[in-house]
């Protein structure tokens, strides 16, 4: 979990490392992971203690450069330079030696020795055309050191070389190049977002106004419909009365006719008791 989170969420990675330490503090890998988690959160004293413990357990020298960088973080660049000249550096692999060179150059800059920092970074690894995992960072550090002494033309060249070899985006060389070229980046997403919000507001106002208009139209339509209905009823009522009048007259006539006894009703032909 420390390895998974350390780049995206170093604080949470640090929390996991503390739990791991409580569970298995005598495991070298746990102490090393705890050291890197503390280092990522700039807890340099704690990180240095964990790295030293891991080194005692394994006897290896792989952590030597990061231990020296912790000394820098604690404000002791002279100690970092002493470590850069120690015999342990000769036991490091190529990547470790390059890392140690980066730390030493940083310590020189901490002491204000800018020209010495440039010289420290000048090496066969820097001049090599082959791209290694550490190439982009080495070129970037060299470009940054050149820029610090005002050699902008050379700095731009090496920032470009760093960007060319930076396959995983480990540096911000592209931003540094843009800065040197006077290019200013604008966050178009936020501008578009504001524009969209403005459009939404306008549409909302139009929709509300449209709803009010529709509501008024509906009320007018309903009033007209009621008037039409009343007119139709008024016109149709007399006609209905006229149509029904003959029917009522026939029925009354039939009743009067029966009362006179002129009609042969059902009882007229019936035998008398």
**Residue 50 forms part of a structural domain:** yes
Whats the size of the chain, residue-wise?
273
- Within a domain: residue 260? no
Can you tell me the mean pLDDT for 199-218?
Answer: 48
> Which residues neighbour 67 within 8 Å (Cβ) at sequence distance 6 or greater?
48, 51, 52, 55, 83
Query: Using one digit for the tens of pLDDT, what is the confidence trace for 170-207?
Result: 899 999 999 998 887 666 666 555 555 554 454 444 45
Query: Is 30 within the bounds of a domain?
Result: yes
Q: Do residues 149 and 80 share a domain?
A: yes
Residue 122 and residue 231 in one domain: no
Instruction: Measure the CA–CA gap between 127 and 217, rounded to whole angstroms.
Output: 81
Helices 135-148 and 114-121: crossing angle in degrees, nearest 10, is: 150
**Whether residue 172 is found in the same domain as residue 193:** no
Prediction pTM value: 0.67
Q: State yes or no: pLDDT of 214 exceeds 80.
A: no
- Secondary structure of 52-108 as H, E, C letters: HHHHHHHCCCCCHHHHHHHHHHCCCHHHHHHHHCCHHHHHCCHHHHHHHHHHHHHHH
Q: Are both 173 and 215 inside the same structural domain?
A: no
Q: What is the pLDDT of residues 120-168, one digit of tens each?
A: 999 999 999 999 999 999 999 999 999 999 999 999 999 999 999 998 8
* 167 and 93 in a common domain: yes
In this model, does residue 113 exceed pLDDT 80? yes
Residues 222-269: tens digit of each pLDDT: 555 555 545 554 555 454 444 444 444 443 444 344 444 444 444 444
**CATH number reported for the structural domain that contains residue 78 in this entry:** 1.25.40.10
Which structure tokens are listed for 110?
Answer: 């901490």
Please tell me the total count of domains within the chain.
2
CA–CA gap between residue 111 and residue 240 (Å, rounded): 113
Main-chain dihedrals φ then ψ at residue 19, nearest 5 degrees:
-65, -45
69 and 163, same domain (yes or no): yes
How distant, in Å, are the alpha carbons of 31, 38, 49, 56, 64 from that of 2? 12, 11, 18, 21, 21
Question: Is residue 155 helix, strand or coil?
Answer: helix
Same domain, 135 and 225: no
Range of the domain at 206: 187-250
């Amino acid at each position: 979990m420390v390895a998974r989170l350390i780049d995206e969420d170093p604080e949470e990675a640090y929390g996991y490392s503390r739990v791991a330490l409580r569970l298995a503090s005598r495991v070298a890998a746990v102490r090393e992971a705890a050291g890197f988690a503390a280092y990522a959160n700039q807890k340099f004293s704690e990180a240095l203690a964990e790295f030293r413990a891991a080194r005692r357990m394994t006897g290896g020298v792989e952590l030597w450069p990061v231990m020296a960088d912790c000394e820098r973080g604690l404000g002791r660049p002279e100690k970092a330079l002493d470590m850069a000249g120690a015999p342990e550096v000769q036991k490091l692999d190529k990547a470790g030696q390059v890392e140690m060179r980066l730390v030493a150059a940083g310590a020189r800059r901490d002491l204000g020795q800018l020209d010495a920092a440039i010289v420290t970074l000048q090496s066969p690894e820097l001049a090599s055309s082959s791209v290694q995992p550490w190439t982009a960072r080495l070129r970037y550090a060299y470009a940054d050191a050149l820029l610090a002494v005002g050699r902008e033309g050379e700095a731009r060249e090496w920032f470009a070389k760093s960007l060319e070899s930076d396959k995983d985006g480990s540096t911000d060389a592209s931003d540094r190049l843009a800065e040197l070229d006077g290019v200013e980046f604008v966050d178009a997403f936020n501008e578009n977002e504001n524009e969209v919000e403005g459009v939404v507001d306008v549409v909302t106002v139009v929709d509300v106004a449209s709803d009010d208009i529709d509501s008024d139209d509906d009320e007018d339509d309903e009033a007209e419909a009621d008037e039409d209905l009343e007119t139709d009823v008024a016109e149709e009522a007399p006609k209905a009365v006229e149509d029904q009048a003959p029917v009522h007259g026939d029925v009354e006539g039939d009743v009067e006719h029966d009362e006179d006894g002129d009609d042969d009703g059902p009882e007229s032909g019936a035998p008398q008791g």
